[in-house]
Amino acid sequence: MTPLSFTFSRRNFLKSTGAAFVVAGSFPLAGRTQQNGAINPLRIPAQLEGRDEGGVQVYDLTMRKGISTFFEGYETETLGLNGDYLGPTLRMRDGETVRINVTNTIGETSTLHWHGMHLPAKMDGGPHQPIRDGETWSPEFTVKQKAAALWYHSHQMEKTAEHVWRGLAGMVWIDDAESDTIELPKTYGTDDLPLVLHDRRFASDGSMEYRAGMREMMMGMIGNVPLANGTVDPYFDATTEKLRLRILNGSNATFYYLGLDNDQPFTQVASDGGFLETPVEMTRLLLGPAERAEIVIDLEPGQVVSLRNISNALPFRFLEIRAAETLTPSPAIPARLTDIEWLKPEDAVVTRRFDMETRMGGMMGGGGNAHTINGKVMDMMRIDETVKMGDTEIWEIRNVSGMPHVWHMHDVQFQILDRNGKPPLANEMARKDAVTLRGGEVVRLIMRFEDYADPDTPFMYHCHILEHEDAGMMGQFVVV
């Protein structure tokens, strides 16, 4: 087995699932070894700033087909935005009005969803805002949220997994007055890096076709090669004492358990929807699909340290960081990063309950859909929940299956009240839009629906294992 192949074992941190998936794959192309140094410079996505048109910040994004070289000598068919694979990092500011012209040229209908953004449902880019091939969709809205590292991705009904797999995703970074002045690394591409982590399954001819069979529809599509910003086995030459990584788990279905190879601690400063109130020092970070974490790593001159997926079976490297012999000083991380307005359970007017269920027999036995929420599969014509604008609500999510799921909801950033009746982890005390639930777990979320009543256009909630979403593990709510 070549060391570039890897094995996922979630047993060591997902003990409760009962399902110990070990998915091994091998990639015989290169025959190179991760025991040696990393081989490719980390790709840094271009930044895309808006251009001012009468006070509106305008962005142009073109979804297109591309040819990517992940392995020397092999061409791979991919999709990208303004490029061959993945898309640029959009930079936006709180309070600005933005318009994004999204042109679809991929040869089939797709959508582009602004994951984590608070915006009108019609601008959300979900299944109800299809962009046909050759057409341009131009959502316009005012950015109304705290500084955060968000992302965008295709959300085409029943095709989300395939379109994201092929490359239709990128990040959106929001800035505000607080992030302007906070003493954290913030020079893009130098000490402040986007890091889109995912895995893709490559065939021996270099192709990474999306082929979800029965097993993948049940467990999710899992790759045999890890990538960071679309780079295979990358390194980054660091020149500063502190390095800030804005990490997105952009995989279809893989839970990453991240750490540094020398087990040195790092500091998480932000979660999905922005800064934590206080930094959290840690040595391990679990990120489910769609979750984000911003971490800061302290570097010694000349140090080589790797960000790895930790697993008992076979850990693999996502990124090798090579520190220069002389490093530019970085200021200490502030003891307090922000103030979060904590929502109070007594202010909630209703508690809604959602059961995320996977019936192993369902699909295998040909008995229809295996992945459901409250026993139902997604129906674009059905509104599942109606929420009153201005209300604070508690949503209790139960994973009644034996495998992990990721709850994600559109429109709002929520707060986790408790996990299995106990307080959430320190790094979950945050604004979040996605939360990992191991088999059997229960989380209570609290959120306020502040704006944008629209009885006709729903927002989505769904599992962010994309194969589960496509199989129907999704529902719709309207704000009225």
Binding residues among 113-152 for Cu ion as defined by CB under 5 A: none
Smaller CB distance to Cu ion: residue 225 or 473?
Answer: 473
Nearer to Cu ion, 266 or 407 (CB): 407
Shortest CB 201 distance to Cu ion, Å:
19
Residue 445 identity (one-letter amino acid)? L
Comparing CB distances to Cu ion, the nearer of 394 and 463 is: 463
**What is the spatial distance between Cα 71 and Cα 66, in angstroms, rounded to a whole number?**
15
Task: Round to whole Å and give the CA distance between 133 and 244.
Answer: 38
When the beta carbons of 308 and 405 are compared against Cu ion, the nearer one is: 405
- φ, ψ at 415 (rounded to 5°): -120, 145
Other CB atoms within 10 Å distance of the CB of residue 342: 10
Of 232 and 465, which has the nearer Cβ to Cu ion? 465
Residue nearest to Cu ion (CB): 463
Q: Which two tokens stand for residue 170?
A: 């990128």
Residues of span 354-413 touching Cu ion by CB under 5 A? 405
Subset of residues 296 to 325 that bind Cu ion, contact rule: CB under 5 A: none
Identify which range of 287-295, 378-386, 442-450, 466-474 contacts Cu ion by CB under 5 A. Answer: 466-474
Which one of 4, 305, 465, 479 is in contact with Cu ion (CB under 5 A)?
Answer: 465
Smallest distance, Cu ion to C-beta of residue 253, A: 8
CB of 370 to Cu ion, least distance (A): 10
Q: Which stretch binds Cu ion (CB under 5 A): 113-121, 407-415, 441-449, 468-476?
A: 468-476
- CB-wise, 238 or 373, nearer to Cu ion? 373
Residue 117 CB, nearest approach to Cu ion (Å): 22
Rg (the chain; Cα; Å): 21
Give me the 409-448 binding string for Cu ion, x by CB under 5 A, dash otherwise: ----------------------------------------
Selected from 463, 466, 471, 474, the binder of Cu ion by CB under 5 A is 463
The whole-angstrom distance between residue 352's C-alpha and the CA centroid of its chain comes to 25
Residue (232 or 434) nearer to Cu ion, CB: 434
For position 14 contacting Cu ion by CB under 5 A, the verdict is: no
Over 28-62, what HEC string results? CCCCCCCCCCCCEECCCCCEEECEEECCEEEEEEE
The sheet with strand 256-260 has its strands ordered as 40-41, 234-240, 316-328, 304-309, 256-260, 285-287
Residue of the chain from 468, 472, 474, 475 that contacts Cu ion (CB under 5 A): 468
By rule CB under 5 A, what count of residues binds Cu ion? 4
Q: Which residues bind Cu ion (CB under 5 A)?
A: 405, 463, 465, 468
